[in-house]
Amino acid sequence: MPTILKCENIFKTYHTEEKIIEVLRGVTLELEESQTTVVVGASGAGKSTFLHILSGLDEPDKGKVFYMNEDLLKKSDEEISAFRNQNIGFVFQFHYLLPEFTAEENVALPMLVQNISFSKAIERARVLLKEVNLEERASHKPAELSGGEQQRVAIARALANNPKILFADEPTGNLDSDTSKLIENLLVKLREKYGLTLLIVTHNDELKKIGGRVITMKDGKIIESN
């Protein structure tokens, strides 16, 4: 499978008042298309920071990030925004659904960034909600949903524009073990159905079991890769 995303020698340092934290110290990684990668490591290892840089949400102090052959770090805000909108889906530890919008509207929002008509977007949002078994909750506000349901809506939203890559940062971090299992299975199912490239970042070793490559991070470096 061809490489879809790669980063070379990434460095990221935070300067706080008391100290300097070297979060990433030379990370290099290639993701192949339709591959699942699970990045594990203790809390504070730099996993989230790494995910943000890979997905174009944040910029490294040093190093390069390429999507196919495009240099992500050379893009303007508008370009990188459009890139994320079209190619990338995010699932975070917290659902971050917009509280003022219904489930289907939340799923439709990323589509509305492109000039898709509102009715078309809602139509597709309903299809996606059905995909995560929430079609009967489509017109509910996030506050009316359970934690697992909120996370499923967030997954549907991540798939709104048929992205190439899905990034998940501790996707089950806030859920009980049964619900976690459900979300894991859902991610696997959707990955297969859409041929997604999936990158999961977690401190929970349980997630290693969902298959694919496992990478271990420690102190801002990849120490183990299979």
Partner 1 sequence: MIEYFVAKRYMKSKRRLNFITVISRISVLGVSLGVAALIVVLSVFNGFGDLAKKMMLEAEPHLIIHFTKTPDKTEIGNIKKFLRDYNDVSSCYLFSQGKAIIGIGKSFDILTVTGVENDYYFSDKFRLKKYSETESSAGKNSIAISLYTAIKLNARLGDTLGVTSFQNLEKSVTTFLTPRVIKPVVTMIFNTNNNRLNSKYVYMPLSKTKALFARKNRLAGISVFMKNFKNAGKLKSALLNKHFPFTEITTWEDTHKQLLTVMRIERWSAYLILSLIIAIASFNILSSLTMSVTVKQKDIGVMRSFGVSRKSIKKIFLIEGALTGLKGALLGFLIGFSIYLAQLYFHIYSLDATKYIIDALPVKLYFSDVLAITFMALFLAFLSALYPSTIAAKTNVIEAIKWE
Ligand X SMILES: Nc1ncnc2c1ncn2[C@@H]1O[C@H](COP(=O)(O)OP(=O)(O)O)[C@@H](O)[C@H]1O
Of ligand X, partner 1, Mg ion, none, which one sits near residue 46, judging by CB under 5 to 8 A according to partner kind? ligand X
Which strands, in side-by-side order, build the sheet including 3-15?
20-32, 3-15, 62-67, 70-71
CA distance 169 to 41: 12
CA distance 159 to 153: 10
Binding string to ligand X for residues 43 to 82, with x set by CB under 6 A, is what?
xxxxxxx---------------------------------
Q: Which two tokens stand for residue 55?
A: 């997905």
Subset of residues 53 to 112 that bind partner 1, contact rule: CB under 8 A: 57-58, 77-78, 81-86, 88-90, 92-94, 96, 98-101, 109-110, 112
Of partner 1, ligand X, Mg ion, none, which one sits near residue 16, judging by CB under 5 to 8 A according to partner kind? ligand X
Question: Which listed residue (36, 37, 48, 87) binds Mg ion by CB under 5 A?
Answer: 48
Q: Are 174 and 93 in contact (CB under 8 A)?
A: yes
Shortest gap between Cβ of 13 and partner 1 (angstroms)?
14
Question: Which listed residue (131, 149, 170, 184) binds partner 1 by CB under 8 A?
Answer: 170
Cα distances (Å, whole numbers) of residue 125 to 111, 135, 171: 9, 9, 21
CA distance 157 to 25: 33
Q: In terms of Cα–Cα distance, which of 190, 198, 162 is closest to 35?
A: 198
Binding site for partner 1 (CB under 8 A): 52, 57-58, 77-78, 81-86, 88-90, 92-94, 96, 98-101, 109-110, 112-113, 115, 118, 157-158, 160-161, 170, 173
